[in-house]
Amino acid sequence: MRTQLLIIFSLFFVLSLLTTPWAGIARAGLVTDGAGRQVMVPADPRRVITFAPNLAEIVYLLGEEQRLAGTTTFSDYPPAARELPRVGSYVRPDLEKIVALRPDLCLASQDGNPRHVVDRLAAMGIAVYVVNPQSLSGIMTAVKQIGTLLHADKRAAELVAAMRQRIEAVARQVAARSDRPLVFFQIDEAPMISAGTNTFIHELITLAGGRNAAAGPVAYPRYDWEKILALDPEIVIISSMAGGRTKEELLAGWRRWPQLAAVRNNRLHVVDADLFDRATPRLVDGLEHLAGIIQSGQESAGAQ
Amino acid sequence: MHNSFFSLTTRLLALCGLLLLIMALCGLLALAWGSSSGISLAKISETLQTLFCAKARDSVAAAIVWQVRLPRVVLAAVVGATLALGGLVFQALLRNPLAEPYILGVSGGSAIGAIIGILLGLSPFPGVTATAFVGSMTVLVLVLLLAAGVSARSAVSRDTLLLGGVMMNAFCGAVIMFLISVSQTAQVHHILFWLMGDFSVFSVEQLPVLLAVLPCFLIIFLMARPLNLLLLGRETAASLGTEVKRVSVLLLATTTLMVSIVVSQSGLVGFVGLVIPHIFRTLLGPDHRLLIPASILGGGSYMILCDLLARTLPAGGEMPVGIVTALVGAPLFIYLLWRSRR
């Protein structure tokens, strides 16, 4: 009797080991995604559709691009992503094109993708995993989540570790200095738009050792020249996508105001927009670039 | 126009039969063609099989036909029918050939309601639909109160109604521009697509609400005779036994209700209510007993085709259907106008 009980208990013990997370994540099952939804994900997704450019980028970074079956327009990094079939834009994904590609897993972004498309696909039995990266640590979580879904846990861990290392390096640089210059980040022109507190840009400016002039509750507040003159930022960063203008036009717009400290000291910089608004590990490139600008003191305008 | 050889019933049945056939063909084309594949005879036969065979050949194709395209085709048919019928009724009621279903403020009111719903982050259904409906009914009530306050005799004096409606729409337009100016970029996208008419948001669970317009079609059809008489003028109609006030109020209420229901789900789709009644009036004459079913079925078919174009024409992704109806409807109207002057 006791031997039988012992055998039964051992069997239970072995079975419970087999069902613990580290042995079982790779198989199909019900998981909770970044938006708190319950999703039944396939064990080995082979036809993945991404609903945003940053998600496609993350899949390529994880080295799992062979699983991709389609993506939205504007997925242009890396350049190979341009060859993927398109399923509409990320604000208007085309339901029919998505269903026609027979995906076994869709990756969506809570910020931007319309909720009703996700709900319609889920109602049709297509697995949609929503990620919600709101900060650098959110991006690291999303990379790990996607890595788990696509059997790229090791690569995901490497990416996250590399990101952490570089962020910490910047933090050490910043800690060594005492000044925190006022930085104004221009996203768009006519109307002039900057980034408030709940944005990646704010986080990058703060980590890079600056103070965001547009910090506040509105995510993308509008500014006019009067407000900017009153703020008088020390450094001005201009996104290359602002209003579709050329670099010279953007800089010329600011140089009309020699009263501004940033103009007098020639601290106007145009930066690559993609390094600052896409929720991917490339944001760390943006962070390093920004840190370089802020901490370099006097630097000539137009650093790319 | 008065054809004594065939009775009205015969003509009505023939007309309905023909238009139903056309609508069925348009529906079939719209179910067989979409943004994921082109059109061919093989596709059409495949779609017929998917529709009528119990076990579908290919589950993905079946999902596309039944769950992606069919709701849209149904929505397009009902929206087109409602707007065309609404335009027909208003043109008769207000005795104005430029009347269209939005003329009494439905467009302005529902747009403000929808924008507020979008800005509050509500889901498309029931959230934004509900706010759009409330918005449109509110503005309509205001227009009616205004007309009632101005005209001592009857709340449905048509000049006051028209002017009040046009002014309310203009005021609402200003409010809409203000709301857009304070919106964040992502919301502006949603707002613009709603304002241009967007069928892509509709899902099957909204169907019961949409089908509430069907009884309205019947009510209006039963009032076809009084509508004919109203065209002769209030006094003439009254002297021929029509209870002008009662009929007008009932028609107004029914039409504005059904247009509000439809607009709150589909956004603002223009030119259907203006152009379709004129086309059928040119073809069939002014008898509303024929024009009402013609507008319903013809408007539905027209809308199905416009939605098909909106889905398949652009390579980069579908465009809002309101753009297609405007691009097609406006030249069509100009052509009708030019022809009528000869």
pLDDT of residue B151: 64
* Average pLDDT of the residues of chain B: 88
B318 touching A (Cβ < 8 Å): yes
The tokens for A165 are 């290392």
Distance, in angstroms, between B54 CA and closest chain A CA?
Answer: 18
- Residues of chain A with Cβ-Cβ distance to B68 below 8 Å are 95-96, 99
A97 touching B (Cβ < 8 Å): yes
> pLDDT: is A240 or A194 the higher one?
A194
Lowest mean pLDDT among A6-15, A27-36, A47-56, B189-198: A6-15
Per-residue pLDDT of A63-79, as tens digits, reads 999 999 999 998 888 99
Lowest mean pLDDT among A51-60, A96-105, A153-162, B316-325: B316-325
Cα separation values, B71 from A177, B27, B67, B77, B305, Å: 62, 11, 7, 10, 14
B203 touching A (Cβ < 8 Å): yes
For residue A265, is pLDDT > 60? yes
pLDDT of residue B78: 96
Distance, in angstroms, between B159 CA and closest chain A CA?
Answer: 42
Per-residue pLDDT of B311-340, as tens digits, reads 988 877 788 899 999 999 999 888 888 887
Per-residue pLDDT of B181-193, as tens digits, reads 888 877 888 899 8
Q: How is the beta sheet containing A68-71 ordered, strand by strand?
A: A68-71, A48-50, A105-109, A128-131
pLDDT of residue B62: 83
Q: Which CATH number fits domain A22-159: 1.10.150.120, 3.40.50.1980, 3.30.342.10, 2.60.120.200?
A: 3.40.50.1980
Instruction: Name residues 110-149 of chain A within 8 A of B (Cβ).
Output: 112, 114-116, 119-120, 123-124
For residue A134, is pLDDT > 60? yes
- Residues of chain B with Cβ-Cβ distance to A69 below 8 Å are none
Nearest-by-Cβ selection for B317 from A94, A124, A219: A94
Mean pLDDT value across residues B92-112 = 90
B119 touching A (Cβ < 8 Å): no
Distance, in angstroms, between A22 CA and closest chain B CA?
Answer: 34
Is the domain spanning B97-199+206-268 CATH 1.10.3470.10? The answer is: yes
Contact B186 A91 (CB under 8 A): yes
- Residues of chain B with Cβ-Cβ distance to A219 below 8 Å are 184
For residue A299, is pLDDT > 80? no
pLDDT of residue B58: 65
pLDDT of residue A137: 93
Phi-psi region of B156 (alpha: psi -120 to 50; beta: other; left: phi over 0): alpha
Nearest-by-Cβ selection for A100 from B60, B123, B200: B60
For chain B, give the percent of residues with pLDDT over 70: 94
Contact B190 A114 (CB under 8 A): yes
For residue B39, is pLDDT > 90? no
Is the ipTM here above 0.85?
no
For residue A43, is pLDDT > 70? yes
Instruction: Name residues 257-286 of chain B within 8 A of A (Cβ).
Output: none
Give yes or no for a contact between B50 and B61, defined as CB atoms under 8 angstroms apart: yes
pLDDT of residue A21: 45
B315 touching A (Cβ < 8 Å): no
pLDDT of residue B273: 93
Nearest-by-Cβ selection for A100 from B64, B125, B189: B64
| Pairwise CA distance, residues A269 & B329, whole Å | 50
* Average pLDDT of the residues of chain A: 87
- Residues of chain B with Cβ-Cβ distance to A112 below 8 Å are 186
- Residues of chain A with Cβ-Cβ distance to B36 below 8 Å are 94, 96-97, 99-101
Structural element, H or E, at residue A212: strand A211-212
Which CATH fold topology does A177-303 show? Rossmann fold (3.40.50)
| CA nearest to B23, candidates B88, B89, B62, B76 | B76
Distance, in angstroms, between B199 CA and closest chain A CA?
Answer: 12
B246 touching A (Cβ < 8 Å): no
B183 touching A (Cβ < 8 Å): no
> pLDDT: is B264 or A245 the higher one?
B264
| Pairwise CA distance, residues A151 & A148, whole Å | 5
> pLDDT: is A137 or B37 the higher one?
A137
A23 touching B (Cβ < 8 Å): no
Nearest-by-Cβ selection for A96 from B34, B123, B185: B34
B121 touching A (Cβ < 8 Å): no
For residue A190, is pLDDT > 90? no
Question: What are the domain boundaries of chain A?
Answer: 22-159, 177-303
For residue A170, is pLDDT > 80? yes
B68 touching A (Cβ < 8 Å): yes
For chain A, give the percent of residues with pLDDT over 90: 61
Q: Which three-class secondary structure string do you get for chain B? A: CCCCCCCHHHHHHHHHHHHHHHHHHHHHHHHHCECCECCCHHHHHHHHHHHHCCCCCCHHHHHHHHHHHHHHHHHHHHHHHHHHHHHHHHHHHCCCCCCCCCCCCHHHHHHHHHHHHHHCCCCHHHHHHHHHHHHHHHHHHHHHHHHHHHCCCCCCCHHHHHHHHHHHHHHHHHHHHHHHHCCCHHHHHHHHHHHCCCCCCCCHHHHHHHHHHHHHHHHHHHCHHHHHHHCCCHHHHHHCCCCHHHHHHHHHHHHHHHHHHHHHHHCCCCCHHHHHHHHHHHHHCCCHHHHHHHHHHHHHHHHHHHHHHHHHCCCCCCCCHHHHHHHHHHHHHHHHHHHHCC
The confidence band for A15, taking pLDDT boundaries of 50, 70 and 90, is low
> pLDDT: is A195 or B125 the higher one?
A195
- Residues of chain A with Cβ-Cβ distance to B63 below 8 Å are 99, 124
Distance, in angstroms, between B32 CA and closest chain A CA?
Answer: 12
> pLDDT: is A79 or B62 the higher one?
A79
According to DSSP, the residues that pair with A93 across neighbouring strands are: A88
| Pairwise CA distance, residues B229 & B217, whole Å | 19
For residue A301, is pLDDT > 60? no
For residue A181, is pLDDT > 50? yes
The confidence band for B153, taking pLDDT boundaries of 50, 70 and 90, is low
B37 touching A (Cβ < 8 Å): yes
Mean pLDDT value across residues A96-100 = 92
pLDDT of residue A24: 37
Kindly identify which residue of chain A lies nearest to residue B33, measuring between CA atoms. Answer: A96
- Residues of chain B with Cβ-Cβ distance to A114 below 8 Å are 190, 201
The confidence band for B231, taking pLDDT boundaries of 50, 70 and 90, is confident
Mean pLDDT value across residues A161-175 = 94
pLDDT of residue A298: 43
A196 touching B (Cβ < 8 Å): no
Q: For chain B, what's the residue count? A: 342
Per-residue pLDDT of B266-315, as tens digits, reads 999 989 999 999 999 988 989 999 999 999 999 999 999 999 999 988 87
